[in-house]
Amino acid sequence: MVLPEGFALPPWQLLVPLVLAAVGVGAALWSLDPRVTDRTVLAFAPWMVVGSSLHVLHRLGAYPEDVAVLFGTPSVYLVTGVVAGAVWIGGIVLERTGVGITTEWPVAVLGGVGLVGAAATAVGAGGGFDGVFWPLLSVVLTVLVTAAVWIAFGRRYEDVVAVTGATGLLVVFGHTLDGISTAIGFDVLGASEEVPLSLLILEAGHALPTAEYVGGGWLFIVVKIALALVIVGLFREYVEDAPRQGRALLALLAAVGLGPGAHNVLLFLVT
Q: Are residues 137 and 260 in the same domain?
A: yes
Q: Are residues 11 and 142 in the same domain?
A: no
- In angstroms, rounded to a whole number, what is the distance separating the alpha carbons of residues 33 and 48? 22
Which of 101, 128, 155 terminates a domain? The answer is 128
- Structure confidence at residue 129 (pLDDT): 64
Which of 99, 128, 157 terminates a domain? The answer is 128
The pTM score is: 0.92
- In angstroms, rounded to a whole number, what is the distance separating the alpha carbons of residues 143 and 257? 14
Q: Are residues 118 and 169 in the same domain?
A: no
**pLDDT, tens digit, 9 for 90 and up, residues 151-174:** 999 999 999 999 999 999 999 999
Q: Which domain holds residue 214?
A: 129-271
Q: Are residues 213 and 95 in the same domain?
A: no
Which of 75, 93, 128 terminates a domain? The answer is 128
In this structure, how many other beta carbons lie within 10 angstroms of the beta carbon of residue 64? Answer: 6
Q: Are residues 31 and 165 in the same domain?
A: no
Q: Are residues 140 and 269 in the same domain?
A: yes
3-state secondary structure (DSSP) of residue 251:
helix
Q: Are residues 142 and 256 in the same domain?
A: yes
Q: Are residues 154 and 108 in the same domain?
A: no
Q: Are residues 97 and 178 in the same domain?
A: no
**pLDDT, tens digit, 9 for 90 and up, residues 41-68:** 999 999 999 999 999 999 888 888 888 8
Q: How far from each other are the two terminal CA atoms of the chain, in whole angstroms?
A: 27
